[in-house]
Structure 1
Amino acid sequence: MFSITKADGILWAIAFITGCVFSLFQWGWLGVLALGGMLYSGRRWGGKVWLRLPSSQSFAIATGVALLAMAYVWLRTPQPGVNDISSLVPRLEGLNLPSTVLVEGRVETTPLPNRAGRRRFFLGVERYQNLSQVPAQSEVLQGRASGRLYVTLPAAEGAKLHPSQRIQISGRLYLPRGGGSEFFRAFNFRRQLQLQNTFAGLAGNKVTILDQGSPWGLWALRQRIIQVHAQGLGDRYGAVVSAMVLGNRAVAIPFEVRDSFRRVGLSHALAASGFHTAILLAVVLAVTRFLPQQWRYGLGAGVLVLFACLSGFAPSAIRAVLMGLAGLVALVNGQKGQPLVILLAIATAMLIYNPLWIEDIGFQLSFLATLGLIVSARPISDRLDWLPTPLRNLVAVPLAATLWVLPLSLAIFGIFPVYGLLANVLANLPLVLLTVGGFISAMVGLLVPPVGSALAWLLYYPTAFLLWLIQTIGQWPGATIALGSLGWLQVVVLYGLIVLGWLSPRWRRRWFLLFTLGVTLVLVPFILRQNTLFQATVLANTQVPTLVVQQPAGTVVINGGDPQGLTAFLAQEGINRIDWAVASDRQYRQQQGWREIHGITPIRQFTDVPTAKSDPAYREMLTTLKVPHQSLPLRQPVQLGQVKITVLRADPAILTLEMGNSQWLFVSDPSRDAAQTDWLAVTPVEPPQVLWWWGRKLTPRLFEIVKPRSVILSRNALDPAIARYLKEKEIPYFVVGEAGEVRWQADGSLKANAPQNDGLI
C-alpha cells in the first residue's frame, strides 16, 4: 500500500513549482514528461543511489502534479472579455476612424512617473466614445466597456489623481507591442500588461475629474509617508528613505538614483525585500525584550503585516513577510524551524494563490537569494574564517545571495556589477539606519506629520553618505561589465554546478574547480562572440531610427534617442564600448540620449551628419560629452573595420552603409512632402540590398526610384496600400513597430525578432 511521507510532499511541491516554470516554454509539457519519465525509470530500475529517493509511484504522481501546474498557469492567464476596451482598437481601424477616444473610469493605482516624464497608472474602464476633428466621424462608436487601461498622462495632469477617483480622459488608444526574444530578449510590454489583466493602453493628454472618490485607503497612508519624508529630507533623499519602507513600486524614486543602485548591485535595497523585514523584526524583538513573549511576537508579526500592506503586497515583500511570520511561529512553539521546507512551502502556497507570479522577476530573484542565504551563507562564512567574525558575516551574506542570483540575473540583464560585493558591505550600516529610521519616522508621521518630518531630518547625512558612496563606486573604472545575456542552457549548467557544490561534500571541497568551470562557461562564449561576430540590428525604436553594428573591429551605433532601450540592448549583447557613434542630425530632441549612454557604455569617437540646423542644447551636449567629435564629410566614405558610411545628403540625411558585401541606403525624411524622394529621383544611387527608411510620408514612388531588394521601416505601422505594393513587387519588408528588432547577418539575411513563448524574460 502506498503511504505518503514527508519526502513525497516535498517532491510534489517541487514538481508543482517545476510545472509552473515549464509552462513558460512552448514545449514545456514535453520537458516535464521527459524529466518525469527519467526519474521514474531511474527510481524503478536504477542502482543503489536511486533507492534513497521517493518511490517510483511518487515520481509518477509528481509528473502528474507538474502537468496539472502547467494547465493551472494557462487557465489563470488573463484573457480579454467580449466587451474589453481593447476590442475597440480593431473596430476603429476597420472603420478608418482616428484612434482618439474619450474614456470614463476609476483610477485603480497611484500615478507614478515613467522615464519619459509622464505619469502612469491603471484605469478601470466604464464607458467610451471615439473622437475626431471631423464632426461626422465623432461619437460613431460609444457605449459601455469593461477591462483596464494602462494610461500615461502629462505630469501636470497626472499629479492631481489618486486611486478611487472617477475620471474622464481623452487620448490615443493603442494595443501594446509584444517583445521579441528570438535573438534579443526585448521587454515584452504586452505580456507584462496581460499578467495584470490589461490588454490596451491610452496615451492621454487631458483629464477631467468626475468624482473625487474616497480620501482613505492604503494609498493615502503611502502618500502621507512619502510627504513626511519629503518635507524632512527633500524630494530626492525623501524618496530613497520612503523606498526603504514602501518599496520602489510605490515611490517615485528618480531614475538616475535607481540606475546608480543597479550599477553597484544594490537594487534590492530599494525593493521591499527580506533585507528590510529582517532588520525591522530584529529591532522590534530587541526593543521589546522587557515585554511578555506573546506581546513581543505579536508586535513583531504586526510590524511585518503592516510592512506588507504598505509595500503594496509585492511578491518579494509577501515572501519576506511570510518567512518572518514562519520564524515567529517557530519561536512561539519553541521549535527549531526548517528554513528550506518553510521556503518551499511558501513558494508553493504563493504560486497556488497566483501562479502568474512565476513570471515576476522580483519573485524569482527573491526566492533564489533566500535559498542562497539558507544553504550557502554558512559554508561561505566557514571558508572566510581568516576574517574577523563581524566582517565575515557581512561578506558571506551578500556573496551567498549573489551566487544564487547571478546566473538568472545575467540571463535577463547581461550585466555583472564588479564592485557589488564591496558596495553591499560598505552600504550595510547606512541601509540599516535608513530602514529603521525610515520606518520609525513613517509611523510617527502617520500620527503627527511634523514630528515624523523632524525625525526624518535626522537621516539626512546617512542618506547623503549612502548616495555619495553608491555614485562614487559606480564611477570607478569597470564598475559594470556587460557579459551579454546567457543562454538558458548556460543558466541550467551554472545552477547545476551550484547545486552540485551544495549537495555534494566532495565537490564542495573542490569549490575552486566548480568556480573555474562556471567562469569558463560564461567567459569563453563571450570572448569568442566578441572576436568573431559580424551583424547589424535595427532597434524597435520608431521615434529615432537606431542601428547597432557589431564586428571585431569595434561597435558602431547610429543614433541614440532611446538611451534606455539602447543600453539594455548593448548589455544583453555584451557590448562594453561604442567605438563609433553617429548622429544622423543635430537636433537635441532626437539625440539627447548620448550623454546617458556614454555614462553607461563609453563612446570612443562621436560623429554627426553636417545638417544646417543645430540647436544650442545639442551643442551643449557635445561639450559635456567630452568625446572626440567631428562631422562626417559629404560624399567621402568613413570606415571602421568592415563598416563604411558615406553621406550622400546632409539635410535631411541620406547615407549609404556598406557592411561587408552588403549595401544599405538610409533615408531620413522627417517632412510631410516626401522631399527625399524628389532628391533621389534626380540623383543616381546604386540599388541597395536594404533600404532603411524613417520619416512621416512614404509613397510607392520611393521604391520605384531606389529599387531595393529588402525594406526596413522604422515606424509604428505601414499603410495598407504600400504593404500591398511591396507584396505585389515581392519585396520583403519589416516594420519595426510590428516586427520588433530586425537583424542583418553577414550572409545578407534579415530576420525579425519574433516573440517567443519565453515568459521568464
Structure 2
Amino acid sequence: MVSTVPRNDLVLWAIAFIAGCILTLVQGGWLIVLGTGGLCWWLRRQRWGRSLWLRLPTSRSVAIATVVALLAMSYLWLRTPQPTVTDISGVVRRLADLNLPPTVAVTGVVQTTPLPNRAGRLRFFMAVEQYRNVSQQASQDALLRGRASGRLYVTLPGTIAADLHPGQRIEVKGTLYRPRPSGSRFIRTFNFQRQLQLQNTFAGLTGEELRGLDHGSGWGLWAIRQRITAAHRAGLGDRHGSLVSAMVLGSRAVAVPFELRDAFRRVGLSHALAASGFHTAILLTVALTLVRPFPERWRYSCGGGVLILFVCLSGFAPSAIRAGLMGLASLAALAGNQKVQPLGALLAIACGMLLYNPLWIEDIGFQLSFLATLGLIVSSQPISDRLDWCPGVLRNPLAVPLAATIWVFPLSLAIFGVFPVYGLLANVLTTFLLVMLTVGGFISALGALLLPTIGASIATVLYWPTELLVWFVQHIGQWPGATIALGTLGWGQVVVLYALIVLVWWHPWWQHRWLAVFTVGLALVVLPFLIRQQMLFQATVLATTRVPMLVIQQPAGTIALNAGDPHVLTAFLAQEGINRIDWAIASDRRSQNWLDVHATTPLRRLTTVATANSDPAYQQMLAALPVEHHTLLPQQPSRLGNVEITVQRADPAILRFNLGRSDWLFISDPAADQHHWLRGAPVATPDVLWWWGRRFDLQLLEHIQPKAIIFSQARLAPQISTALQQKNIPYFIVGRDGEIRWTPKTALTANLDASNDGIF
C-alpha cells in the first residue's frame, strides 16, 4: 500500500519521473539515467558509501527510481505527436513530386482565437477537412484535391481576419509549407517546427484570401474572453485595455502590443502579463476576504470557483493550471483543518500534470512557473530573515521577487541570454500597482460578464494606475544598462548553478557560506562570457530572407549589416552576449529598424551605402537616431579591427568584406543590370560569394569563381543546385539551412542539417 512506502522514497520516485521527462530532451539522456542510477547503487553498497549515504533511500529504492526515469522517457516519446497518413503536411511533398507550386485552398474549422504575430498578421490553428491545389500551373485534369486531416498553423492579414473566432468553418487560400527547425547548433532560438509538433501540427499555411462558409457557434470561452477584453478596451483604450486584460487572462489569450511585452520583459516583469501564481494568490486572497462573513463552506467554494474561472479564461495555459491547482490544494487543506505542505503539493502537482501531458515539460511557461514557485516556497522566508536590517514593510516585497529570481535565473539566462539589472527594483516599485490592476481588472471582468457597460465603467477607474505602471516600466527600461546580455549559458553551467542553489537550500553549512557560493556562481557566468568576448572572431548570416543580415563578432567590436527584422537581430545579439553594436551598416533602404535595435542594443555609429533611391522614411529614421552616421563611398575601404569593408558598387549594393584571411563578396540583385555590371567589372575571386536576390546567372560562376556560395533565399532553382554540385562548389541556402556561420577554424557551417526538407 502507498501508506507503507517511506515518504523519502515517494519524493525520490517523483523527482525521478520529472528528471526522466527532462532528460528526454537531452541527447543520450538514457545513458545519464543509467549512469546516475548505477553510481548511486554502487556507492550505497560500499562500506564507506553507506556512511556517506545514510539519509538517502535504499539501493532498492534507487533501482526503482532508475526504472521510473526510464519509463518516463519512454512515456514522453510515446506521447509525442506524429503525423498520420492523411495529415495535411503530406500534401507538401506530394505537390513537390508533381512539380506543382504549394498554392492551395484549405477548408476547415477555426480552433483558436486569432492573435497577431510580430509581422502584423493574425495567427491561429485550424482543423483541416479538405484541400485543393489552385496554382495556375495545375491543369484542370491534374488538379490535386481531396480530404485531409490534422491541424494547420494559419496566418492571415489582419484586415481580412479580424472577425474570425473559434468554431467558424472557413476556406483559406495561400502557400502551404512544412515548418523547419531552428536554433539547433549556434543559438538557442525558438524552434518553430518543434513547437508546432507539440501541438499536433506539422504544416503551416501563409494565407492571403479568406472565405467564410458558416459562422459557427456564437458562444464559448472565446466569447467570454472577447467580452472581457472588449469591455477593458472600451474603458481604457486599446493599448491600456489589452494590458489590463492580459493581467486577468494572461498574454496567451490577449493580443498585447509587442512593444509593451518587450518593455515588461526588459525590466523583469514578464510574469505580470502571464497567467501565474502571482495572479491566483491575489485573486484568491481578495475573494476570501470579500466573503469572510459567510460560512466556511461558502467561502471555500467561492475561492475554488474563482480559481477555476481564472484557469478557464486563461486558455488552460500550463502555468495557470499549476497556479490553480496549488490554490485548490491550499483551499482543500484549509477546509480540512490541515496544514498544507507546499513543497510536497508542488511536486505532486508537477507529476500529475506531466502524467496528463508529458509534453508540457518543454513549455517555457511551465518550467519558469514551477521554478519560481519552488523559489518562493523554499527561499523567500530565509531571505526575509536575512533582511532584518530592512524596514519590516520592505522585507516581503524584496524577499519574494529575489527568491523567485534566484531560482529562475539559470534557466532564464540559458534560454534568453539577458538579465534585467533593475528587475528587483521594478518589482518592488510596481507591486502595489500590479495588485490594484489585477484585482480591478478581474472585478471589471465580472462586471462585463453581467453587462459590458458595467465592465467598461469599472475599467475606466483603472486608467491612471495603468498609465503610471506603463510609465514606470518604460522609464526603468530606458535607464543605463537596464539589461545586460550575457549570452546563453551552456547546459553544463545551468546544472552546476542549480547544484549550488540546491546546496545552499539543503544544507546549513552552505547556508552560512552563501556569499562564497554566490561568488562562485557569478564567476561561472561572467568569466566564460568575458573570455569569449576577448577571443571570439566569427561572422553569422542570420536566418532571414527579406533583408540580408550579417553580424561579425571580434574583440575590436561588433559589426551588424542591416536591421530588416529587429526582433531576430536583437534576439541573436542577446543570446551571443552582445551589449553594443560598434558599427552598424545599412546597405538596403528597407533596413529602417535601427531605432528599434538601438532601444535594446545601443549603436555607436551607423554608416549607409549611398544609393540613387530616395526614401523619406529612411531619412526620418536617420534624423531620429541619436548616433553618428555617415555614408560609405565606393572604393574607399573602412576598417574596424580585423574587418575591412569596401563598397564596390552602391546601387545596387556590392560589398567586399575582408575577414582576416577570408574574403567575402556580398551582391544584392534588385536590378537586372547587376549581372551586366559584374561581367564587365574586374572582380577578384572571393572565398565566399554571398548572393541576395531572386535571379542568379550561372555564367557569373565562370567570371567570379567563388570557392563557396551563400544564398539568402527561401529556395534555390534545381538547375542551379545541379550546376553547383557538378562544379563541386559548396553552397548554403539561408531559407533551408538557417544561420550560416564562419570562423577561421571551421570556415562555413550551417545551423541546420542541409538534408532537412523543410519548406518555407
Q: TM-score normalized by structure 1?
A: 0.97
1:218-297 to 2 correspondence within 5 Å? 218-297=221-300
Structure 2 residue corresponding to 1:713, chosen from 695, 711, 714? 711
Q: Tell me the amino acid that sits aligned with residue 42 of structure 1.
A: L
* Corresponding residue number in structure 1 for 2:692: 694
Could you tell me which runs of 5 or more consecutive residues in structure 1 were left unpaired when the two chains were aligned: 757-761
| Alignment pair present for 1:684 and 2:682 | yes
Contact 1:130 / 1:138 at 8 angstroms: preserved in 2? Answer: no
1:383-402 to 2 correspondence within 5 Å? 383-402=386-405
1:63-212 to 2 correspondence within 5 Å? 63-134=66-137, 136=139, 140-212=143-215
In 1, distance between residues paired with 2:750 and 2:136? 36
Structure 2 residue corresponding to 1:332, chosen from 322, 331, 335? 335
| Alignment pair present for 1:537 and 2:540 | yes
Cα distance per residue 1:215-237 (max 9 Å; x no partner): 00000000000000000000000
* Corresponding residue number in structure 1 for 2:596: 596
Per-residue deviation at 1:670? 2.1
Structure 2 residue corresponding to 1:348, chosen from 339, 348, 351? 351
Contact 1:179 / 1:755 at 8 angstroms: preserved in 2? Answer: no
After superposition, the Cα gap between the structure-2 partners of 1:134 and 1:183, relative to the gap in structure 1 and judged at 3 Å, is closer
Contact 2:100 / 2:137 at 8 angstroms: preserved in 1? Answer: no
* Corresponding residue number in structure 2 for 1:551: 554
Contact 1:107 / 1:162 at 8 angstroms: preserved in 2? Answer: yes
Per-residue deviation at 1:139? 6.3
Per-residue deviation at 1:7? 1.6
* Corresponding residue number in structure 2 for 1:670: 670
Q: Tell me the amino acid that sits aligned with residue 12 of structure 1.
A: W
Residue 708 of structure 1: SS of its match in structure 2?
coil
Structure 2 residue corresponding to 1:367, chosen from 367, 370, 382? 370
Per-residue deviation at 1:186? 2.3
* Corresponding residue number in structure 1 for 2:574: 571
| Alignment pair present for 1:724 and 2:727 | no
Cα distance per residue 1:469-493 (max 9 Å; x no partner): 0001000000000000011111111
Q: Tell me the amino acid that sits aligned with residue 736 of structure 1.
A: V
Q: Tell me the amino acid that sits aligned with residue 176 of structure 1.
A: P
In 2, distance between residues paired with 1:139 and 1:543? 33
In 2, distance between residues paired with 1:138 and 1:151? 28
| Alignment pair present for 1:33 and 2:30 | no
* Corresponding residue number in structure 2 for 1:646: 646
In 2, distance between residues paired with 1:236 and 1:441? 17
Identity of aligned residues (%): 64
Contact 1:132 / 1:138 at 8 angstroms: preserved in 2? Answer: no
Contact 2:279 / 2:438 at 8 angstroms: preserved in 1? Answer: yes
In 2, distance between residues paired with 1:29 and 1:676? 55
In 1, distance between residues paired with 2:466 and 2:263? 14
In 2, distance between residues paired with 1:135 and 1:276? 54
Per-residue deviation at 1:134? 4.1
In 1, distance between residues paired with 2:734 and 2:375? 41
In 1, distance between residues paired with 2:189 and 2:696? 27
Per-residue deviation at 1:12? 0.8
Residue 89 of structure 2: SS of its match in structure 1?
helix
* Corresponding residue number in structure 1 for 2:757: none
Contact 2:100 / 2:138 at 8 angstroms: preserved in 1? Answer: no
* Corresponding residue number in structure 2 for 1:759: none
In 2, distance between residues paired with 1:488 and 1:471? 32
* Larger mean Cα displacement after TM superposition, 151-160 or 747-756: 747-756
| Alignment pair present for 1:626 and 2:629 | no
4+ runs deviating over 6 angstroms = none
In 2, distance between residues paired with 1:654 and 1:383? 62
* Corresponding residue number in structure 2 for 1:745: 743
Contact 2:115 / 2:123 at 8 angstroms: preserved in 1? Answer: yes
Per-residue deviation at 1:701? 1.6
Cα distance per residue 1:319-344 (max 9 Å; x no partner): 00000000011111111111111000
Residue 526 of structure 2: SS of its match in structure 1?
helix
Residue 208 of structure 1: SS of its match in structure 2?
strand
In 2, distance between residues paired with 1:755 and 1:485? 22
* Corresponding residue number in structure 1 for 2:10: 9
Contact 1:131 / 1:138 at 8 angstroms: preserved in 2? Answer: no
Residue 663 of structure 1: SS of its match in structure 2?
strand
Q: Tell me the amino acid that sits aligned with residue 149 of structure 2.
A: S
1:30-69 to 2 correspondence within 5 Å? 30-45=31-46, 46-69=49-72
Residue 196 of structure 2: SS of its match in structure 1?
helix
* Larger mean Cα displacement after TM superposition, 360-369 or 20-29: 20-29
* Corresponding residue number in structure 2 for 1:24: 25
Q: Tell me the amino acid that sits aligned with residue 27 of structure 2.
A: Q
Per-residue deviation at 1:49? 2.8
Contact 1:664 / 1:689 at 8 angstroms: preserved in 2? Answer: yes
Per-residue deviation at 1:51? 2.0
Per-residue deviation at 1:138? 8.0
Contact 1:714 / 1:737 at 8 angstroms: preserved in 2? Answer: yes
In 2, distance between residues paired with 1:160 and 1:332? 45
Q: TM-score normalized by structure 2?
A: 0.97
Per-residue deviation at 1:755? 6.4
Could you tell me which runs of 5 or more consecutive residues in structure 2 were left unpaired when the two chains were aligned: 755-760
Residue 489 of structure 2: SS of its match in structure 1?
coil
Structure 2 residue corresponding to 1:499, chosen from 499, 502, 510? 502
Residue 200 of structure 1: SS of its match in structure 2?
strand
Q: Tell me the amino acid that sits aligned with residue 180 of structure 1.
A: G
Per-residue deviation at 1:748? 5.9
Residue 5 of structure 2: SS of its match in structure 1?
coil
In 1, distance between residues paired with 2:303 and 2:169? 38
Q: Tell me the amino acid that sits aligned with residue 573 of structure 1.
A: E
Q: Tell me the amino acid that sits aligned with residue 39 of structure 2.
A: M
Q: Tell me the amino acid that sits aligned with residue 304 of structure 2.
A: A
* Larger mean Cα displacement after TM superposition, 2-11 or 145-154: 2-11
Give the aligned length. 751
* Larger mean Cα displacement after TM superposition, 739-748 or 372-381: 739-748
Cα distance per residue 1:433-490 (max 9 Å; x no partner): 0010000110011111111110010001110000000001000000000000011111
Cα distance per residue 1:524-565 (max 9 Å; x no partner): 111111111111001111111111000011000011101111
In 2, distance between residues paired with 1:135 and 1:60? 61
Cα distance per residue 1:4-25 (max 9 Å; x no partner): 3222111111110000000001
In 2, distance between residues paired with 1:272 and 1:70? 28
Contact 1:182 / 1:755 at 8 angstroms: preserved in 2? Answer: no
| Alignment pair present for 1:447 and 2:450 | yes
In 1, distance between residues paired with 2:697 and 2:26? 41
Contact 1:677 / 1:701 at 8 angstroms: preserved in 2? Answer: no
* Corresponding residue number in structure 1 for 2:485: 482
In 2, distance between residues paired with 1:274 and 1:695? 49
Per-residue deviation at 1:500? 0.6
Per-residue deviation at 1:180? 2.8
Residue 639 of structure 1: SS of its match in structure 2?
strand
Per-residue deviation at 1:626? 1.9
Cα distance per residue 1:419-443 (max 9 Å; x no partner): 0000000010000000100001100
Residue 751 of structure 1: SS of its match in structure 2?
strand
Residue 96 of structure 1: SS of its match in structure 2?
coil
* Larger mean Cα displacement after TM superposition, 398-407 or 52-61: 52-61
Contact 2:741 / 2:751 at 8 angstroms: preserved in 1? Answer: yes
In 1, distance between residues paired with 2:560 and 2:284? 50
In 2, distance between residues paired with 1:639 and 1:62? 59
Per-residue deviation at 1:135? 6.0
* Corresponding residue number in structure 2 for 1:357: 360
In 2, distance between residues paired with 1:692 and 1:184? 21
Per-residue deviation at 1:365? 0.2
Contact 2:420 / 2:482 at 8 angstroms: preserved in 1? Answer: yes
In 2, distance between residues paired with 1:244 and 1:409? 21
